[in-house]
Structure 1
Amino acid sequence: MADVFACSRCGTVLTAPVSKVALPVHAHHGYGHELLPPLMEPGTYAIDPEPSGPPWRPWSEIAPEEAEARGVFAPVHALSFGAPGAIVVAPGDVRGTVVIPERCDGYCTGLDGRDGPNLACARCGRPVATRIDDCSLWQAVWLVPDAVRRLPTGGPAPRTADWEALAEEYEGTPPIEPPGRWSPLWEAAVGEALAHLLAASGGAPVAVPGGLAADTFGRALDALLPPGPAARGAVLAGPGLPASGPAADIVLVPRHPRTGEAWRPPGGTGSPPAVPLAAYVWVHLAFQHERSLLPVTGRLPDGVLRDDPLPMHPWGPFRPDSGVFLATLARLPAVRRPWLRRIHDRVTSHPYTHPF
């Protein structure tokens, strides 16, 4: 069922009815120097399980065993030691709040939350949330976990699609945006999956299918892994694809957009390692051939798309998001292996060089 969130002090309802979904992989990563759209779809919320907000401690002040207890296995700039469980909603789903004027600093064109919660409950004045809408940041409102409480509404929640219906009910996100730039959602999703793919490779070269998968993963894999003839094969696997595909050493599987769980191939312990990939990318990679534009004459047959306007082409090669890549890699135990730690440290030192 759907929920609303209310002020824990006075009970004022602070959101419209919202349903829980998985936290987007790009939730804490910016993009470009322009206004970005909302992080969350209307009517949804997500919970960040990790601590967020102040106090922050630099990596130099954190003991290795303390970091590993937090699930961090390689150096990061700093770690938050604030409260875990921040709830994020779309700005348009917020109700019953007022701005705290003295906490409205930002970098460029909006609020960036640097001063802490900047929205207060309109009835009792308690700080309850932080609105983010500055350039380079996804527009969002982060509810303070100990300042709000969740109240079930009793109303229906959107149906969670089963795996078999995923390809039919969940549309893929196009990889290229007007006027020809790669989608930042793709850059983030591939950056996350790339970290898992490297860990699954064991340090051996990895070959991916041609086409869009090669455009998005291939250059990065070739740049980060040593060359060699005995490449491990990585293929797409998941609901709607034939169960008996080509033999694979690694499979790229979808992560469910609502639960956040990765699809599990049948076969138990004998199955190849599975690398989770955001569903909006996986669906497009898995079924893009069904949307291919075909040259035809006369009346267009059913199922054939027009070639006017022509499909967009990117301005340049695809670049995974180095911030998402490093944040994911630092939280994989495999990064403690010397060869993978060297990759982590190299990208940390030069985050904007090839392939990033």
Structure 2
Amino acid sequence: MFAPVPSLSFGAPGAIVLAPGDTRSTVLIPERCDGRCMGLDGRDGPNLACANCGQAVATRIDDCSYWQSTRLAPNAVRRVPGDGPTPRPVEWAVLAEERESTPPVEPSGHWSPRWEAAVGSALAHLLVASAGAPVTLPGGLVTSAFGRALDALLPRELPTKGLALAGPGLPPPDPAPDIALVPRHPQTGRAWQPPGTAVAVPLAADVWLHLAFHDERSAVPVTGGTPEGVLRDDPLPMHPPHLFRPDSAVFLHTLARLPAVRQPWLRGVHDRVRAEPYARPFSFG
């Protein structure tokens, strides 16, 4: 940690974390199932036991204020090789070809929390890459996602640094940008590395794929045909009732773990957002 955080995990280091649904052959220990609001928070220590021998092996957490998880106790379990060959991560070219992306607006008409979290994390890396200089954005959804935050957190005087999308399936940006917004591999967590000297800012792959390849417009011809190059929205795309806001908690979580936050100007940004996590640009207005 390179900046203060509200709390740290008090669990044993080296725990393997799984989604609760991926856990097999365990049973709850009833006397260790206390929680706060509407679930288990792990306050009593391991609350899952091996269904065969009865030994406490894991802690299930599913209270409403926590991510649902099962933390396997490192002193009670060990890793063993699985059957068959180890699956290889999907190649970047395959990800770009399949283009399985997450849209920014949910069917309810509200901004996707997935986008808010992904942009909150990328925003922390983007501030580091900017070195405190204003950043010029390419427009469209990139500006909708990052523009208001950069206007509020960075100065506006020149010179500026240019940002462009870069990654598999896209031609090299021209001119070459100072900062490249690149995908983070969904399996390995590694960021795609842009050619040249551009500083890479990682963004969740499903969000990046939407920014890079999705056209929000629906090509529906009007009566009598559509002029070449003209697209018509039908039905009209959904517009959320408020401006996009990155997730301030994810932003602070990421920024506190980057060594650059020790720089006075960036530590000032961190402390200001921590003191008012729902002020602009993390507010609805």
From the superposition, tell whether residues 227 and 306 of structure 1 become closer, same or farther in structure 2 (CA, over 3 Å).
closer
From the superposition, tell whether residues 348 and 180 of structure 1 become closer, same or farther in structure 2 (CA, over 3 Å).
same
From the superposition, tell whether residues 114 and 208 of structure 1 become closer, same or farther in structure 2 (CA, over 3 Å).
farther
- Counterpart-to-counterpart distance in 2, 1:279 and 1:325: 17
RMSD: 2.4
- Counterpart-to-counterpart distance in 1, 2:150 and 2:262: 19
- Counterpart-to-counterpart distance in 2, 1:328 and 1:314: 26
Q: Is 1:204 paired with 2:130?
A: no
Following superposition, which runs of at least 4 residues in structure 1 exceed 4 angstroms of deviation?
Answer: 156-159, 305-310
- Counterpart-to-counterpart distance in 2, 1:292 and 1:334: 39
1:37-56 equivalences in 2 (<5 Å)? none
8 Å CA contact 1:223–1:354 kept in 2: the answer is yes
**Quick one: which amino acid aligns to residue 95 of structure 1?**
R
**Quick one: which amino acid aligns to residue 160 of structure 2?**
A
Secondary structure in 2 aligned to 1:128?
strand
Mean Cα deviation higher: 221-230 or 277-286: 221-230
**Quick one: which amino acid aligns to residue 316 of structure 1?**
H
1:113 aligned partner: 42
Unpaired runs of at least 5, structure 1: 1-71
**Quick one: which amino acid aligns to residue 75 of structure 1?**
P
TM-score w.r.t. the length of structure 2 is: 0.89
1:183 is aligned, of 88, 112, 115, to 112
Secondary structure in 2 aligned to 1:247?
coil
8 Å CA contact 2:99–2:213 kept in 1: the answer is no
TM-score w.r.t. the length of structure 1 is: 0.72
2:68 aligned partner: 139
From the superposition, tell whether residues 115 and 187 of structure 1 become closer, same or farther in structure 2 (CA, over 3 Å).
farther
1:124 aligned partner: 53
Give 1:183 shift. 1.6
1:296 is aligned, of 221, 225, 229, to 221
8 Å CA contact 2:105–2:111 kept in 1: the answer is yes
Q: Is 1:330 paired with 2:261?
A: no
**Quick one: which amino acid aligns to residue 174 of structure 2?**
G
2:12 is aligned, of 83, 103, 108, to 83
Deviation readout 1:13-44 (Å, 9 max, x if unpaired): xxxxxxxxxxxxxxxxxxxxxxxxxxxxxxxx
**Quick one: which amino acid aligns to residue 89 of structure 1?**
L
1:251 aligned partner: 180
**Quick one: which amino acid aligns to residue 86 of structure 1?**
A
1:48 aligned partner: none
Q: Is 1:264 paired with 2:182?
A: no
User: Larger strand proportion, structure 1 or 2?
Assistant: 1
1:346 aligned partner: 272
- Counterpart-to-counterpart distance in 2, 1:168 and 1:190: 23
Secondary structure in 2 aligned to 1:227?
coil
Secondary structure in 2 aligned to 1:326?
helix
- Counterpart-to-counterpart distance in 1, 2:240 and 2:102: 15
- Counterpart-to-counterpart distance in 2, 1:197 and 1:322: 14
**Quick one: which amino acid aligns to residue 200 of structure 1?**
A
Give 1:344 shift. 0.7
Give 1:245 shift. 2.9
Deviation readout 1:71-104 (Å, 9 max, x if unpaired): x111122334543332222222211111011222
From the superposition, tell whether residues 279 and 108 of structure 1 become closer, same or farther in structure 2 (CA, over 3 Å).
same
Q: Is 1:318 paired with 2:244?
A: yes
- Counterpart-to-counterpart distance in 1, 2:195 and 2:84: 35
Secondary structure in 1 aligned to 2:80?
strand
8 Å CA contact 2:97–2:169 kept in 1: the answer is no
8 Å CA contact 2:218–2:234 kept in 1: the answer is no
Q: Is 1:281 paired with 2:207?
A: yes
- Counterpart-to-counterpart distance in 1, 2:68 and 2:263: 37
2:31 aligned partner: 102
**Quick one: which amino acid aligns to residue 227 of structure 1?**
R
**Quick one: which amino acid aligns to residue 321 of structure 1?**
D
**Quick one: which amino acid aligns to residue 183 of structure 1?**
S
8 Å CA contact 1:161–1:169 kept in 2: the answer is no
1:355 aligned partner: 281
**Quick one: which amino acid aligns to residue 230 of structure 1?**
P
- Counterpart-to-counterpart distance in 1, 2:41 and 2:25: 21
2:21 is aligned, of 71, 92, 98, to 92
Give 1:244 shift. 4.3
From the superposition, tell whether residues 113 and 312 of structure 1 become closer, same or farther in structure 2 (CA, over 3 Å).
farther
Mean Cα deviation higher: 76-85 or 319-328: 76-85
